[in-house]
Amino acid sequence: MSKEITFYDGGCADCQNVAAYFSANGVDYKRVNIKAHPELANEAKEKGATTFPAVFINDDLVEGWNEQGLQNKLGL
């Protein structure tokens, strides 16, 4: 089953960790820069995000740099 992954990112160290993790594991994702487009931060908050980075895998949310949470949601 294909997963839709959207990664809301502000360019912080945790955001860089998430991006590096995805790259190292061959995960396809859409990266959204909330500093360049602040209105997209509001979109993520409306979906339940309270902190960034916020990663939505289908409709499941993983917040911050949470390697274990990403592994669990991605089945890695």
User: What are the per-10-residue average pLDDT scores of the chain (76 residues)?
Assistant: 77 92 93 89 92 92 96 92
CATH of the domain at 50: 3.40.30.10
- Provide the pLDDT for residue 65: 96
- Provide the pLDDT for residue 1: 43
Statement: the pTM of the whole predicted model exceeds 0.95: no
- Provide the pLDDT for residue 2: 54
The sheet with strand 60-63 has its strands ordered as: 30-33, 5-9, 54-57, 60-63
H runs (alpha helix) in 30-75: 39-46, 67-74
Range of the domain at 28: 5-74
Could you give the number of structural domains in the chain?
1
- Provide the pLDDT for residue 76: 86
